[in-house]
Amino acid sequence: MDSKLYIHNSLTRKKEAFKPLNSPQAGMYVCGPTVYGDAHLGHARPAITFDLVFRYLLHLGYKVRYVRNITDVGHLEDDADEGEDKIGKKARLEKLEPMEIAHFYSDRYHRNMDQMNVKVPSIEPQASGHIIEQIEMVKQIIDAGYGYEVNSSVYFDVQKYQNDTKKYGELSGRVLEELKANTRELEGQDEKKNPFDFAIWKNAAPEHIMRWPSPWGQGFPGWHMECSAMSTKYLGEKFDIHGGGMDLLFPHHESEIAQSVAANGNEPAQYWMHNNMVTINGQKMGKSLGNFITLNKLFNGEHNLLERPYSPMTIRFFMLQAHYRSTIDFSNEALNAAEKGFKRLMKTLDTLEKIQPANESTVSFKELEKKCYEALNDDFNSPVAISQLFEASRIINSLKDGSEKIAKKDLDDLKAFFKSFTVDVLGLEPEEKVKEKNDELLSRVIENILQVRQEAKQNKDFQTADKIRDALKEAGISIKDRKDGADWSVEE
C-alpha cells in the first residue's frame, strides 16, 4: 500500500511530501490550552485535528513524540505586552493561588479530552515548569543581538531581525510596513524601540502574582517564549510538525519562528499545520455574542442555543466530517446529522461481528481501503475517508442480509480494515466503551482534587477547601466529609 503522506505546509502554502528528519521517529509540537476556564468548541477542534494526525502517523508505522503544552503563565489579556495575566486575574477574582486555578482547569480539560477519546500526548509540559529554559533562551536571543532590555523587561527587536533575515511575516503573510501602520498605541509601548516589538521577558508589576527571579529582575516570560523553549527541549532545535489553531498563526507562531531563528540559527519546524475555526450558526464564537459554548455545557445540553445534549463522540465525528483546514459551522441540524452518521458506523462495527463467512467472495473492499489511504495521505482528508467507510458500511449490510457473500480470509481482512480506520485512526468508539473509560478517569480526577482539598484543610486553609467543595457541587459532584478524607458521589 502506497503510504506517501502529503501535508499542506502553512509556511510554503503548498502540499509537501512528509519526510521526517529522523525517520521512523517523528516529532510533533501542538499548542495546548491556556487553563483559566473550561474548554470550549474552539479547544476541541485542534485537539481532535492533531489527535487524527498523531493516530495516522502511528498507523503508518512512525514512532511519534507528540508534545502538547499547557499554558499556565504569561498569557496576557488581548495577547498584548500589557495587561493582566489571565490565570493571575482569575486567581485574584476567585481568591485562590494561580496554580490552583491552573490545576483545576487542567483536570477539567483532560476530562473533556478523554470524553472525546483524544489520545494522551507523549509529553505535556507546563510553562511554569520551564522558566529556567525560557530564561536561558532569552539570554541566547540577547547574545545574538535580537533582544534588548528596558526597565527590567526584555523585548525582541523585530526590525533588526527583519533586516538580517527578511523572514518576519513569512508564515502569516504579514508585511512589516503594514504592522507599523496598524500597531495600537498601548501603555508601555514607549519603552520599545518599535511598537511591534514583542516581550520575551516582562517586568512584574507589584500586583502581579506570578513572578520569578531572572537576570533582569522579578518577572515572567512572554507568552510566545514558552513554546519555543519547550519544543526545543523535547524535540530539538528542528523537528517535523508544529500545529495549532489558525488564530495562533500571528503573532504567536510568527514570533516563535523569529525567537528560534535568533536563538538557534534555524527555523524550528519543517511543516506548519493550522486548523481552521469553528463558527456558531455562521457567526464567530464569542462571549459577547452569547454563543460561547463550553464542552461541558455541550455534553449536558445546558446552553440556550442547544436543543438537547450531544455526546462527546458525536462532537468528535462532527469535527472529523470537515477537513481540518476548512471552517466548520456548528448548528443543532449539523450535530443531529453527525449523530446519525456516527451511529451508522458504530452499528456497522456491531454488524461485522455477526456476519458468517461463505466459501467464496462476491464482493471486494480493497478499492475502498485504497481510497481511505489516498484520502488521509492527501493532507489528512478525513471527510473523504469517512465517505469511503460509509460505502464499506453499505457492502457490510449487503453481507448481513445475504445478498452478497464473503470468504473467511476476506472477512478477516474486512474487519481489520474497517476497525483500523474507524476506531484506531478516526478514534471513534461505541459510546458504552467511552463511558466505561471516562467513569474510571472521572474517579481518578476527583480523587486527585479531593487530595488537594484535604491538604488545604490540614493547612487550615478552609477557604480553599470550601471553594473546591463548592466548585465540585456546581459540577454535580456531592462531597461528604469523613475524619480522614471525603467520599463523593454524582448527584442524580
Please check the confidence at residue 290 and state whether its pLDDT lies above 80: no
With bands split at pLDDT 50, 70 and 90, how would you rate the model's confidence at 79? very low
Query: 446 versus 192: which is more confidently predicted?
Result: 192
**In CATH terms, are 6-275 and 279-425 the same topology?**
no
d(CA 316, CA 337): 13
Please check the confidence at residue 459 and state whether its pLDDT lies above 60: yes
pLDDT at 69: 97
Q: Which residues contact 403 (CB under 8 A, 6 or more apart)?
A: none
pLDDT at 329: 95
pLDDT at 476: 80
pLDDT digits (tens, 9 = 90+) for 89-145: 888 888 888 899 999 999 999 999 999 999 999 999 999 999 999 999 999 999 999
pLDDT at 112: 97
Q: What is the 3-state secondary structure (H, E, C) of 235-278?
A: HCCCEEEEEEEHHHHHHHHHHHHHHHHHHHCCCCEEEEEEECCE
User: Percent of the chain beyond pLDDT 70?
Assistant: 92
Long-range contacts of 88-93 (CB under 8 A, 24+ apart): 88/208, 88/209, 88/210, 89/36, 90/36, 90/37, 91/209, 92/209
Average pLDDT over residues 55-68: 98
d(CA 156, CA 68): 25
pLDDT digits (tens, 9 = 90+) for 315-330: 999 999 999 999 999 9
Average pLDDT over residues 410-419: 97
Average pLDDT over residues 37-54: 96
d(CA 381, CA 8): 11
Cell numbers at 248, concatenated: 495562533
C-alpha distance across the termini of the chain, in Å? 51
pLDDT at 8: 98
Average pLDDT over residues 463-467: 88
Cell numbers at 407, concatenated: 470468504
Mean pLDDT, all residues of the chain? 91
d(CA 304, CA 196): 40
With bands split at pLDDT 50, 70 and 90, how would you rate the model's confidence at 77? very low
Global pTM? 0.86
d(CA 40, CA 43): 5
d(CA 426, CA 413): 18
Please check the confidence at residue 397 and state whether its pLDDT lies above 50: yes
pLDDT at 282: 86
How far is residue 315 from each of residues 47, 299, 342, 387, measured CA to CA in Å? 12, 9, 10, 18
pLDDT at 4: 93
With bands split at pLDDT 50, 70 and 90, how would you rate the model's confidence at 78? very low
Three-point CA angle 137, 147, 245, nearest 5°: 65
pLDDT at 83: 58
Q: What is the CATH number of domain 6-275?
A: 3.40.50.620
pLDDT at 182: 61
Q: What is the CATH number of domain 279-425?
A: 1.20.120.640
* In contact, 246 and 275? CB cutoff 8 Å: yes
Three-point CA angle 480, 484, 487, nearest 5°: 25
What does the domain layout of the chain look like in residue ranges? Answer: 6-275, 279-425, 431-478
Cell numbers at 343, concatenated: 451511529
Average pLDDT over residues 396-403: 93
pLDDT digits (tens, 9 = 90+) for 170-196: 999 998 877 766 655 544 567 899 999
With bands split at pLDDT 50, 70 and 90, how would you rate the model's confidence at 423? very high
d(CA 454, CA 459): 9
User: Percent of the chain beyond pLDDT 90?
Assistant: 73
Please check the confidence at residue 442 and state whether its pLDDT lies above 80: no
Average pLDDT over residues 442-458: 83
Please check the confidence at residue 215 and state whether its pLDDT lies above 60: yes
